[in-house]
């Protein structure tokens, strides 16, 4: 897991913003993109679960017709 080192900006004594070192921000952005890709992949797999499956040999035979 990524270790974050935020600096906080306060307003009226309350934490208003968190500032991260740029490298940590980039790593966090990469992790979020990977999670989004994984969610999209799982969604696509769920949508295709009832679709027919073909072996490479079957596809080659179909293309020869």
Residue 1, in any domain of the structure:
no
Residue 3, CB half-sphere, CA atoms under 13 Å: how many? 0
Residue 28 lies in a domain: yes
Domain region containing 26: 7-63
Q: What is the pLDDT along the chain (65 residues), one digit of tens a residue?
A: 889 999 999 999 999 999 999 999 999 999 999 999 999 999 999 998 888 999 999 999 999 97
| Residue 1: per-residue pLDDT | 81
Q: What is the pTM of this model?
A: 0.66
Query: What pLDDT score does 15 carry?
Result: 97
For 51, phi then psi, to 5°, come to -75, 150
| pLDDT for the residue 63 | 95
Considering its fold, how many domains does the chain have in total? Answer: 1
Q: Does the residue 2 lie in any domain? A: no
| CB 33, CB 45: distance < 8 Å | no
């Amino acid at each position: 897991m990524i270790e974050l080192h935020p600096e906080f900006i306060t307003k009226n004594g309350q934490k208003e913003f968190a500032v991260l070192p740029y490298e940590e921000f980039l790593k966090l952005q990469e992790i979020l993109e990977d999670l989004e890709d994984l969610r999209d992949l799982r969604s696509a797999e769920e949508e295709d679960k009832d679709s027919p499956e073909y072996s490479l040999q079957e596809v080659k035979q179909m293309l020869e017709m």
